[in-house]
Amino acid sequence: MVQKREHWGSHWGFIMAAMGSAVGLGNIWRFSYAMGQGGGSAFLIIYLLSVLVIGFPVMLIEFSIGRRAQTDAVDAFKKIAPGTPWMAAGGLGVLAAFLILSFYGVIGGWSLRYSFEYLTGGITGDSTDFFVGFIGDTFSPIFWQFIFMGLTIGIVYLGVQKGIELSSKWMMPILSILLVGLAAFSLTLGGAAEAFAFMFQPDWAAFTDPSVYISAMGQAFFTLSLGMGAMLTYSSYLEPKERLTSSAAFIIVLDTLFALISGLVIFPALFAYGLDPAEGAGLVFMVLPNIFEALGGIGTLAGFAFFILLSMAALSSAISLLEVAVAYFIRKLNMSRKKVTVIVGAIIFLLGIPSSLSQGAVSITIFGESFLDFMDSFTGNLLLPLGGLIMVLFVGWTWTKKEVLHHGDIAHNPLGPLYFLTAKFVAPAAILVVLIMGMLNWL
């Protein structure tokens, strides 16, 4: 049985889906705590540079491979370069998507639980106790992870157009409105000046810290959904005629704006209440509820808006991770989308349970980090840059210049030659340097 491949219903649908993949927990939860720990503006500057020098070429390269091959992340390399080891990049992508979704689903579940709490009255009392109690529990976080994964599976089950495209077209505009509204509100709370200084005034000392470079580059890969085959898979549902360059630029600009505006939601509120931006992974869950509580009724409403925003952003990203694995296994096992989605989704859910338990119920640590934190830094700081590096080398060094420009849809653009140079030399060198710095720092 050879199945007909699905396609997007419209170019706008593709853009919304790819933006949905990019905008996620990474922009709100991960960005705010990584920036909080990375010294604020120093992290921001290195992150913006990584987005420009690495993020843009890698995204366009993933798009070029996907649209050209019209197949899943592993098969794409087999089809374009049969019998070569380049398909390792696709394999790494599927692996990364699997591992990331396992812990992403756990945090998606936390967001859903918090949305539910604010719908039914809000979180009162010590919010750190509440958070630590909740994530340290055995069953409750797994229950919410189950609900979150159920929603993810449900959307992917419905297919590219009826599931992923339709849900993204609804969720992305709602997300944008909620985010801008929340930022406007947060800026009135009295911490705006301090937040601006924290975000935009460079702290030069942080530039000498190698770990800031690693986490900023890891963040660029994570937030743009690169190196995990997601953008490759999504662009494989494009008709060969569709534009790529402007789509990549649009997604990157919006994703970056989303992160910056999320910073403007979180940091002004934080400073207004004298709280610590270097709190770490629990930042939005432990710190923000204090603020919402202090604000009374309007705080409960703002809390609900914030956590629904977080949950929807997480969901539209989670579906892209599941789709990477589902697209691969539909072809590999030659089974229907519905069956594959349920089976793969269930396996990823089970794989996430150790991450959930590692937050207090059972002590599961690797190299001194909780299992969840380890999964996050291992995929973000190592697997994604590595997958991205192989993809850039594949395109930059095995395709002709004409092919690179043609498949990147940038042949008639004045920036074409610059893109080619960046893709061939600058991006791989930058990724390599940071990866090596990461290894040295780790040893």
Q: Which stretches of the chain bind ligand LEU, using CB under 6 A?
A: 21-22, 24-27, 100, 222-223, 225, 230, 317, 320-321
Which of residues 59 and 272 has its CB atom nearest to ligand LEU in the complex? Answer: 59
159: three-class secondary structure by DSSP: coil
Which of residues 25 and 248 has its CB atom nearest to ligand LEU in the complex? Answer: 25
State the minimum distance, in angstroms, from the CB of residue 108 to ligand LEU: 10
For residue 61, which of 427, 341, 313 has the smallest C-alpha distance? 427
State the minimum distance, in angstroms, from the CB of residue 122 to ligand LEU: 25
User: At how many degrees (to 10) do helices 73-80 and 56-69 cross?
Assistant: 70
Q: Answer yes or no: are the C-beta atoms of 64 and 244 closer than 8 Å.
A: yes
DSSP state of 85: G
State the minimum distance, in angstroms, from the CB of residue 370 to ligand LEU: 19
Q: Answer yes or no: are the C-beta atoms of 5 and 70 closer than 8 Å.
A: yes
Which of residues 102 and 290 has its CB atom nearest to ligand LEU in the complex? Answer: 102
State the minimum distance, in angstroms, from the CB of residue 279 to ligand LEU: 19
Which of residues 24 and 218 has its CB atom nearest to ligand LEU in the complex? Answer: 24
Q: Answer yes or no: are the C-beta atoms of 148 and 109 closer than 8 Å.
A: yes
Which of residues 22 and 375 has its CB atom nearest to ligand LEU in the complex? Answer: 22
Which of residues 27 and 167 has its CB atom nearest to ligand LEU in the complex? Answer: 27
CA distance 233 to 240: 14
- Main-chain phi, psi angles of 13, to 5 degrees: -60, -40
CA dihedral 305, 186, 176, 322 (to 10 degrees): -60
Q: Answer yes or no: are the C-beta atoms of 228 and 97 closer than 8 Å.
A: yes
Which of residues 122 and 385 has its CB atom nearest to ligand LEU in the complex? Answer: 385
State the minimum distance, in angstroms, from the CB of residue 400 to ligand LEU: 31
CA distance 222 to 357: 23
State the minimum distance, in angstroms, from the CB of residue 34 to ligand LEU: 11
CA distance 89 to 227: 8
Q: Answer yes or no: are the C-beta atoms of 269 and 189 closer than 8 Å.
A: yes
State the minimum distance, in angstroms, from the CB of residue 284 to ligand LEU: 13
